[in-house]
Structure formats: structure tokens, C-alpha cells
Amino acid sequence: MRSVRYFRLVSVPTMLFGLLLAVNVFAQNTQRPLTNDDVIQMVKAKLSEGLIQSQLRSSKTNFDLSTTEIIRLTSQGVSETVITMMRNPGLPASSSSAPIGGVKTPDGEKIRLILSEDISSATANRGDRVNFTVAEDLKVGDALIVAKGSTAAGTITEAKKKGMLGQGGKLLMSIDQAKAVDGQNIRLRATSGREGDDKLGKTVAIAVLAGPFALLVKGKDTVVTKGTEYTAYIDETKEIATTK
């Protein structure tokens, strides 16, 4: 009987201590800044973008939005909208954004892009998609039209493997479009000036052959490494919806 009473006297304080410890751990966890891995977990749990943004707004954050991490987030299924939220949790979610009007893209405006993958003339084929991320925000006045970390895409226009007798590989590509903040694709070209509207289809190809997108190496396959930076230019005037 004594042993039972002793157990009760000891177990109650022990339970209280355990409860206090659990509350303290919970409080510490709720105060811990959200990281990229937390966002990936929320996405994989199939939480809505609105719920994710609500969590971002109500929590401290410590996100790494370097190019490498943006590529990792994208590969883990994190959408461009969520990445934009991570950059600025105060922005309204795309599903509930309040439009304040449209801003037209400035034709010829420069946009910096970073290659998201390695490309080799040994494995590339004509027509293959080439993926990029936007290196910095692109604004018209105070209006953001393309956010840093958004995706951009190009196309392999010619790929030739290295040949015999020291003949090098050949790899040509165009940079075609970037994703705007409202989800539209903005057409891009390789030079700041136009060749004329009737030659628009040839503008990128001519610039690629003569400019920085012509990648020629003699005696071996052409390899372009992930992280290589390119400059492209907006190739149209299009109205982009902005939000407050």
C-alpha cells in the first residue's frame, strides 16, 4: 500500500514537469523561424497557397532564396507563387490578389537569367527545352512585372556532337520567354534592338549565331554549366496585371 501512495506522490510532479517541458518545447518550435524545408513540407502536405501564405505572414522566416535553393524548391514542387510569397509574405496570394491595373512591358528591356541545368552537345537535341531562373526583379516604376526566381525558358535550335578529326561539338539555343507575376509568358529575344517586325522570327536565331548564345568548342563536346548567366531582352509590349 505504501508503494502505491509513494508512486502517486512522485508521478504527479513528474507529469507536471513533463507537461511544462512539452509546452516549453512547443513554444520554442512555434518561435523557430520557418525555413525552406518547412515550406517544402507544407507543399508536400498539399496545403493551399492561401494557407501557406497565412503561415508565412504569422511566423518569423529565415529563407535562403539563392539560385541553388530556388532550383531545389522548384524541383520539390514549390510553385512560383509560393516562392514569390517567401520573398515577400505581405503580398496577396494569387487567388486573392487585388488588381490595381495593368503595366505594359517595355520592349527592349534587359532581363538577366541564370541557367538552371547543365547542357551538353553530346546529349542535347534540337527542340529540347532549356530552363532558366530570373536573376533579379524586373520592375516598371514601382510595379513588379517579373520576380526574381521566376522561370524562363529557351530552346535548343541546333545540337551537333563532336566529330572525328578534331571536329568540335556545336550547340545553339534561343531564349524564348519568362514568366510574369500574373502568370503570363513574356516573349524574349537575344538583342536589345529589333531587326524589323517582318523578320521577328529570325531575330533570335541571328543573334544566337553571332552573340553570346553561340557556344562553339573545337575538338570536344560543348558543355554549358548550370549557373551560367545570360542577358535577354523583352520582345513585346504586353499588359501585365499588378497587385497592391
Q: Quick one: pLDDT at residue 101?
A: 61
Query: CA dist 33 to 57, 129, 132, 139, Å?
Result: 11, 37, 29, 29
Q: 76, 44 in Cβ contact below 8 A?
A: yes
Alpha carbon distance 14, 182 (integer Å): 56
Exposed / middle / buried, residue 184 (Cβ in 10 Å: 0-12, 13-18, 19+): middle
Q: Which residues contact 132 (CB under 8 A, 6 or more apart)?
A: 113, 114, 115, 116, 151, 152, 153, 154, 175, 178, 230
Quick: pLDDT tens for 150-206. Answer: 999 999 888 888 765 556 677 888 889 999 988 889 999 887 765 444 333 333 333
Quick: pLDDT tens for 44-74. Answer: 888 877 778 778 888 888 888 888 888 888 8
For the chain, list the domains and their CATH numbers: 2-87 (no CATH), 99-243 (2.40.128.260)
Q: How many CB atoms lie within 10 A of CB 182?
A: 16
DSSP conformation letters of 85-120: HHH-TTSPPTTT--EEEEEE--TT-EEEEEE-S-EE
25 has pLDDT over 50: no
> Which has the higher per-residue pLDDT, 93 or 173?
173
Vertex 10: Cα angle to 6 and 12 (nearest 5): 120
Report CA 24 to chain centroid distance, whole Å.
37
Q: Which residues contact 145 (CB under 8 A, 6 or more apart)?
A: 103, 105, 138, 139, 180, 181, 186, 240, 242
SS3 (DSSP) at 242: strand
Closest-CA residue to 134 (of 117, 119, 152): 152
> Which has the higher per-residue pLDDT, 239 or 31?
239
Give the residue carrying C-alpha cell 551538353. Answer: 120
Exposed / middle / buried, residue 128 (Cβ in 10 Å: 0-12, 13-18, 19+): middle
